[in-house]
Chain A
Amino acid sequence: DGGITQSPKYLFRKEGQNVTLSCEQNLNHDAMYWYRQDPGQGLRLIYYSQIVNDFQKGDIAEGYSVSREKKESFPLTVTSAQKNPTAFYLCASSIEGMNTEAFFGQGTRLTVV
């Protein structure tokens, strides 16, 4: 079955440590996205990528980094510079642009203690 796989589903890290969230898709989509979700704030865009080896900052990119070395993969690193990293992180992909349907992964809940 085609889809987007995020792993792990739950992640715990100590404050000050970097952590990488995985996102893999087998839909052959060009575009991929990372969103952060906090209660009462909806989804906020962290980074997006339209093509391999290229990506752009979203609204809240500070403290995060990404790479897009393969079409299928778009990992997100939450660095120690992110002041409040505890959140639910969602990865999505689409054929081209967001004016087509975006498919979402099941999310990763990151808790920093």
Chain B
Amino acid sequence: AQSVTQPDIHITVSEGASLELRCNYSYGATPYLFWYVQSPGQGLQLLLKYFSGDTLVQGIKGFEAEFKRSQSSFNLRKPSVHWSDAAEYFCAVGPTGFQKLVFGTGTRLLVSP
């Protein structure tokens, strides 16, 4: 069965510092991979997605993620974090065709001044 692991429950980063959020997945074939962001009490917004092709994916708000098949990872990065980036981040994996997404448990990002 497919699964997603986000090993960090909380991460605190200083404003202006770089960020990397980890995501590891388990899936038998090449999955579709997503990163979503959620502000408190709100719905989820898609940051970026990987379906195929270039393994470095650019998203909104200056985020990027790199798909590494050998490590079964899809880590999210940002070179310089802004206070407004404080939120919860979810990695998700889905197979080809129509089937449900599986979400990780999320990583809460705190940004210190």
Tell me if B9 and A40 are in contact (CB < 8 A).
yes
**How many chain-B residues does the 8 Å CB contact rule pick out?**
24
Tell me if A107 and B101 are in contact (CB < 8 A).
no
Chain B residues lying within 8 Å of A43, measured Cβ to Cβ, are 44, 90, 103
Tell me if A42 and B103 are in contact (CB < 8 A).
yes
List which A78-112 residues lie within 8 A (CB) of chain B. 88, 90, 92, 96-99, 101-107, 109
Tell me if A41 and B105 are in contact (CB < 8 A).
yes
Tell me if A106 and B46 are in contact (CB < 8 A).
no
User: Does more than half of chain A's interface fall in helix, strand or loop, or is it mixed?
Assistant: strand
Chain A residues lying within 8 Å of B97, measured Cβ to Cβ, are 97, 99
**How many chain-A residues does the 8 Å CB contact rule pick out?**
30
Q: A41-B105, A45-B100 are in contact. Are A106 and B90 (CB under 8 A)?
A: no
Interface residues of B (CB under 8 A from A): 9, 32, 36, 41-46, 49, 51, 90, 94-101, 103-106
Interface residues of A (CB under 8 A from B): 4, 6, 31, 33, 35, 40-45, 48, 50, 58-59, 88, 90, 92, 96-99, 101-107, 109
